[in-house]
Amino acid sequence: MVFGKLFSGLRKTREKLASGLSRLFGRGRKLDADFLEELEEVLYTSDLGPTGSKIVAELEQAWKKREIAETTEVPAFLRKALLARLEGCEGSLVKAPTGTTVILVVGVNGSGKTTSIAKLARRLQSEGHKVLVGAGDTFRAAAVEQLSLWAERLGIDIIKQGTGADPAAVAFDACAAARSRGIDYLILDTAGRLHTQKNLMDELAKVVRVVKKQIPDAPHETLQVLDGTTGQNAIRQAEEFGKVAGVTGLILAKMDGTAKGGAVFGIREKVDVPVKFIGVGESIDDLEPFAAEPFVDAILKFEGQETASA
Amino acid sequence: MFDSLSSALSNAYRSIVGNKVLTEANVEEGIRSVRQALLEADVHFKVAKEFVADVKERALGQEVLKSVDPGQQFVKVFHDELTELLGGEKVGLPVATDNRPLILMMAGLQGAGKTTTCAKLALWLRKTRKKNPLLVAADLQRPAAVDQLQTLGNQLGLAVHAEGTQGRPPEICRRGIELAQRNRHDVVILDTAGRLHVDEPLMVELAEVQQICQPHGVLLVCDSMLGQDAVNSAREFDSRLPITGVILTKTDGDARGGAALSVKKVTGKPILFVGTGEKPDEFEEFDPPRMAGRILDMGDVVSLVEKAEAVIDEKQAEREAKKLLKGKFDFEDFLRQMNMIRKLGPMKKVLGMLPGMGQALKGVDLDDNRFKRVEAMIQSMTVDERRRPDIIDVQRRRRIARGSGNQLQAVHDLVKQFKMMQKMMSKLGKGGLEGLAGAGMPDPASLAGGPGGGLPGGMPGLPGMPGGRGAGRGGGNQAFRDFMRKRKK
Ligand SMILES: Nc1nc2c(ncn2[C@@H]2O[C@H](COP(=O)(O)OP(=O)(O)OP(=O)(O)O)[C@@H](O)[C@H]2O)c(=O)[nH]1
Ligand SMILES: Nc1nc2c(ncn2[C@@H]2O[C@H](COP(=O)(O)OP(=O)(O)OP(=O)(O)O)[C@@H](O)[C@H]2O)c(=O)[nH]1
Ligand SMILES: [Mg+2]
Ligand SMILES: [Mg+2]
C-alpha cells in the first residue's frame, strides 16, 4: 500500500496515543454533547484548526435533523466530510510540452526542501528522465554541500556557485545548462525563508523572473514544501508563498511522525493548490504521491481496523 | 470565528465592560473567545481547555468580585495566567557544579534549528558570559550536517570538534568533551541529528549520548510553528532524556507560537531562549510576558506601554486625543504626534507592539523614510495650510510638492488620506470601544500607501490610545493600561 510507511509510523505510537477515534466509536457510545466535544478534540489535535469545529457543527446539524442517530454512522460521515474538503487536492507533476521542465522548490526554513528535491530527483530519474539540480540556497551554511552530496549519491549533475552568490544567477546558469544539456527536469533549490521577510520574498520573486527569462513558460511547477508538523501557520505560509512565487503544488514533509498534517484542510479553504507528494522519512525513497483517502483515514485512524483484521 | 485574539478580546470586553461584577454568564462569552483564539494559535486542545478552566475559576474568584473594574480584572487574570504558565520568572542556563566544562546537548525534531542554535548559543555565551565554547558535530545523519557546523564555527571563530561522518555520536561527543578539557574550553555544546520521537533506534542513541556525556543541560530545540503534535514529541523527548529546558526557534515569523505553551505545560520545563532570525546573533533570552502577548496576539503591549510612558507626555497626549476624537485635528497636530511616536523607535516595531497589529502588519512595507517624506511635505506647508487643510488646492499642492522634493501625487495622497483619517477619527470618537479596537488596526493597505507619499495611516491612533481611554471611553483599554502600570511596580 502506498501509504504503508505513513501507517507504520503511526502504528509505532499507537499504544501511546490510544486516545482517538477508536475509543470514541467503541460500542455503546451515545451521540451526545460529550461525544461531539471529544470528536472536536480529535480533529483539532490533527491540526485541522477551525475546520474541525465546522465539521463537528455539520455533524451536529445532521444529528439534529436525525440524518444520523448512532455513533457507528459517524466515521462514514466524517470521512465523507473530510474527503469533500480535499476534492481536487490530488495532483501529479506537470510536464513541459517540450524541452526542460523546470521545478522550483520553495518554503520556510527547515521544512524539508533540499531533502524533498533529492527524493524527487530520484523518482524522476527512476522513471528514466535526465535530471539536473540547481543549488539555489546560497545563504545557509553548507546548503550547497548538502545538495551536492545528494547529487553525488544519485549520480546526477548539479549547478552551483559559492555561498553568498546571487540565487537568481544560479537559477540563470542552471536553466542555461539544462537547455544545452538536453535535461528533462531541472529542480531548483532555494534558501529557506519565512514568508514575513519581505526582502527574501522579493528575492524569490526575482528568481522566478530570471527563470522565465531563460525559459518563458518556466517554472512549470513551483512546489512549496510544508513541514507536516506545522500548525495553523502553514496556512499563512501557503497564502504568502502562493502570492509571491505562484505555487502550483505542495509537498507535505515529515509525515512519518505522529503529526497528521491537518493544516492542509485550512489551506484548502484559502488557496486552491493540490498536494502532490508527502515525505515519509529521511531516505531517498521516502516520497509518496499524495492520496486523499489514506490521508483522511490516517486522521480518523481507521488503520486500527486494518491491524485488527491482520 | 475570530481572526485573532485581539478581536476575541475586544469581544470579551464588550461582554464584560459595563457589568459591575464578573458573573458566570458575562465571563462565559469572553472565555469562549479566548479558547478559540488559543486553539488558533496552535495551543494544544487539552492545554487550552485546562487553561480556560483555570482562568474562569480565577476570574470568578473573590479577588475579582471585589474589583471596581471587571474588564481590568479579566485581562489581568488572563495575561497573568498565561505568563505564569509560560514560566513565570526568567530562568537561566544550568551551571556546571563538577569540575567539567558546562556541557549542553541539543535535541529535537528534524529541521527545528539545532545546528544553527548551537552556534547562536555559543556566540551568546562568549559575548555575555565571556565563555570559550567548543562545538561538537555529532549529527552523522543529515548530509553535510558536520560541514554546516564547521562552517558556522569558522564564520564566528568558534572551535569545532568534528570527526567526519564515520563513527558513533556518543563516542564523538565523549571525545569532544575530553578535548574541551585538554584545551581549557569552559563550555561544550553537542549538536545532534534531528530525529522523530517515534524513531526508536535514534531515540536510543540520543539517550546513550546523554548517559555517556552526562550533560548539565539537555536543550530541546522547538520550532515555534509547530502544531498540535508538539506535545507528543516534547513529552517523548523529555521522558527519554529528560530535557532541562526549551529553545524556541523561528520566532521572527508570524506563527503565534501556541506550541510553546503546550510544550511548557506538558514537560514543565522552562523555555530559556528564542531564536529570532537566521543570523547567529538573532537569539534572545526568553521573556514569558512577551510570549504571552504574542500567543494572544496582543502585541508587545508591555514594552509599548513602558516606552510610551517614558517618551510621551501624558497630558499632552490626552489633549491631542480629545481633539482627535472630535475630528478637530490638523497637520500641526499630526506632525507633533508623528515626532512623538518616532521617538519610540522604528515604525514597524512600534506598530507591531499594538494589539492586533501583528497580523495586520505582515508583509507591509513600513519604510521609516516615508515618515521623513511626510514630514518634509508638512514642513513645506504654510502655517495657514497646516491649520486649515481644506484650503490646500492644486496650486498649493504643486508648491508643496516642489518644496519638499516630492511628486504631486504624493501630496494628493497625503491630503486625501489625512481627510479620511480625520473622518475616521471623529467616528472613532463616537464609536467608543469598537472604535478603539479599530484604532489599533489601521488598514494595512493604506499603510503600504501610494507611490512614495501618503500618510502613514493609523499613526495618530497611538497617542490617541491613552487619550481615548482618558476621555472615558473604551474602559477596557484604560483598564489594561492601569493593569500594566501596576504590574510594573
Ligand atoms: N522524518 C523526516 N525527516 C525529513 C523529511 N524530509 C526532510 N526531513 C529532514 O528534515 C531536516 C531538514 O530538511 P532539509 O531538506 O534540509 O530542509 P530545508 O527546507 O532544505 O532546510 P533549509 O534549507 O535550511 O531551509 C533534515 O534533517 C531532513 O533529513 C521527512 O519526510 N521525514
Ligand atoms: N528565520 C529563522 N530561521 C531559523 C532560526 N533558527 C534556525 N533557522 C533556520 O532553520 C533551518 C534549519 O536549521 P538547522 O539549524 O539546520 O536545523 P537542525 O535542527 O539542525 O536540522 P537537522 O539537523 O536537519 O535536524 C535553517 O534554514 C536555519 O537557518 C530562527 O530563529 N529564525
Ligand atoms: Mg535546504
Ligand atoms: Mg542540524
Out of A144-158, B323-337, B352-366, least confident range: B352-366
In which band, very low, low, confident or very high, does the pLDDT at A18 lie, cut at 50, 70 and 90?
very low
In which band, very low, low, confident or very high, does the pLDDT at A73 lie, cut at 50, 70 and 90?
confident
Same domain, A115 and A63: no
Same domain, A144 and A237: yes
Check residue B68 and give its pLDDT: 38
The torsion angles phi and psi of B106, rounded to 5 degrees, stand at -95, 145
**Chain A residues close to B115, C-beta within 8 Å:** 141
Check residue B229 and give its pLDDT: 93
> Last residue of a domain, which of A41, A63, A89?
A89
Residue of chain B whose Cα is closest to the Cα of A152: B143
| Interface probe with B: pick from A229, A237, A254, A280, most Cβ of B within 10 Å | A229
A109 → closest Cβ in B39, B145, B278: B278
Same domain, A128 and A273: yes
Same domain, A141 and A117: yes
Check residue B234 and give its pLDDT: 96
In which band, very low, low, confident or very high, does the pLDDT at B474 lie, cut at 50, 70 and 90?
very low
Same domain, A56 and A82: yes
A230 → closest Cβ in B150, B225, B236: B225
Check residue B320 and give its pLDDT: 63
Check which CATH number belongs to the domain holding A245 and give it. 3.40.50.300
Answer with the residue of higher pLDDT: A163 or B224. B224
Answer whether residue A212 is part of any domain.
yes
pLDDT digits (tens, 9 = 90+) for A196-246: 999 999 999 999 999 999 999 999 999 999 999 999 999 999 999 999 999
Residue of chain B whose Cα is closest to the Cα of A231: B227
Same domain, A21 and A155: no
**Chain B residues close to A143, C-beta within 8 Å:** 144, 148
Answer whether residue A243 is part of any domain.
yes
Answer with the residue of higher pLDDT: B485 or B146. B146
B198 → closest Cβ in A198, A233, A258: A258
**Distance from the A272 Cα atom to the nearest Cα atom in chain B, whole angstroms:** 21
**Distance from the B107 Cα atom to the nearest Cα atom in chain A, whole angstroms:** 15
Flag whether pLDDT at A298 surpasses 70: yes
Structural domains counted in chain A: 2
Query: What 3 state SS string does chain B have?
Result: CCCCHHHHHHHHHHHHCCCCCCCHHHHHHHHHHHHHHHHHCCCCHHHHHHHHHHHHHHHCCHHHHCCCCHHHHHHHHHHHHHHHHHCCCCCCCCCCCCCCCEEEEEECCCCCCHHHHHHHHHHHHHHHHCCCEEEEEECCCCCCHHHHHHHHHHHHCCEEECECECCCHHHHHHHHHHHHHHCCCCEEEEEECCCCCCCHHHHHHHHHHHHHHCCCEEEEEEECCECCCHHHHHHHHHHHCCCCEEEEECCCCCCCCHHHHHHHHHHCCCEEEEECCCCCCCEEECCHHHHHHHHCCCCCHHHHHHHHHHHCCHHHHHHHHHHHHCCCCCHHHHHHHHHHHHCCCCHHHHHHCCCCHHHHCCCCCCCHHHHHHHHHHHHCCCHHHHHCHHHCCHHHHHHHHHHHCCCHHHHHHHHHHHHHHHHHHHHHHHHCHHHHHHHCCCCHHHHHCCCCCCCCCCCCHHHHHHHHHHCCCCHHHHHHHHHHHHHHC
Question: Whole domain around residue A46: which residue ranges?
Answer: 14-89
Q: Is any ligand 2 atom within 6 A of the Cβ of residue B257? A: no
Same domain, A190 and A282: yes
Flag whether pLDDT at B457 surpasses 80: no
Same domain, A53 and A178: no
Flag whether pLDDT at B441 surpasses 80: no
Most confident stretch, B354-363, B410-419, B436-445: B410-419
Same domain, A47 and A114: no
pLDDT digits (tens, 9 = 90+) for B80-113: 788 888 886 667 899 998 989 999 999 999 999 9
Answer whether residue A210 is part of any domain.
yes
Check residue B172 and give its pLDDT: 97
Average pLDDT, chain A: 88
B201 inside 8 A of chain A by CB: no
Query: End-to-end CA distance of chain B, in Å?
Result: 36
Check residue B469 and give its pLDDT: 25
Flag whether pLDDT at B145 surpasses 50: yes
A33 inside 8 A of chain B by CB: no
Check residue A220 and give its pLDDT: 97
How much is the average pLDDT of B317-328?
Answer: 64
A254 inside 8 A of chain B by CB: yes
Whether residues B226 and A230 touch (CB distance < 8 A) is answered with: yes
**Chain A residues close to B198, C-beta within 8 Å:** 9, 12-13, 256-258
Most confident stretch, A63-67, B34-38, B145-149, B255-259: B145-149
Flag whether pLDDT at B242 surpasses 70: yes
Domains of chain B: 5-86 (1.20.120.140), 102-286 (3.40.50.300), 301-488 (1.10.260.30)
Flag whether pLDDT at B343 surpasses 70: no
Answer with the residue of higher pLDDT: B290 or B10. B290
Flag whether pLDDT at A13 surpasses 80: no
Answer whether residue A299 is part of any domain.
no
Out of B62-71, B238-247, B369-378, least confident range: B62-71
Place of cell 505545560: B265
Same domain, A187 and A242: yes
Answer whether residue A233 is part of any domain.
yes
Answer whether residue A300 is part of any domain.
no
Residue of chain B whose Cα is closest to the Cα of A191: B278
In which band, very low, low, confident or very high, does the pLDDT at B473 lie, cut at 50, 70 and 90?
very low
> Last residue of a domain, which of A44, A60, A89?
A89
Flag whether pLDDT at A280 surpasses 90: yes
Answer whether residue A208 is part of any domain.
yes
Residue nearest (by alpha carbon) to ligand 2 atom 17: B113
Residues 68-107 of A with CB under 8 A from B: none
> For a substitution probing ligand 2, which of B109, B115, B116, B155 has the most ligand atoms within 8 Å of its CB?
B116
Answer whether residue A23 is part of any domain.
yes
- What residues have a C-beta under 5 A from ligand 3, the ion? A 113-114, 137
Give me ligand 4 centre to Cα A126, in Å.
29
> For a substitution probing ligand 2, which of A105, A109, A227 has the most ligand atoms within 8 Å of its CB?
A109
Flag whether pLDDT at B28 surpasses 80: no
Check residue B432 and give its pLDDT: 39
pTM confidence score: 0.78
> Last residue of a domain, which of A57, A89, A121?
A89
Out of A57-61, B291-295, B397-401, least confident range: B291-295
Answer with the residue of higher pLDDT: A141 or B18. A141
Average pLDDT, chain B: 75
Provide the number of CB pairs (under 8 Å) joining chain A to chain B. Answer: 165
A266 inside 8 A of chain B by CB: no
Same domain, A222 and A152: yes
Check residue B140 and give its pLDDT: 95
Check which CATH number belongs to the domain holding A50 and give it. 1.20.120.140
**Chain A residues close to B32, C-beta within 8 Å:** none
Same domain, A20 and A119: no
Most confident stretch, A14-18, A201-205, B364-368: A201-205
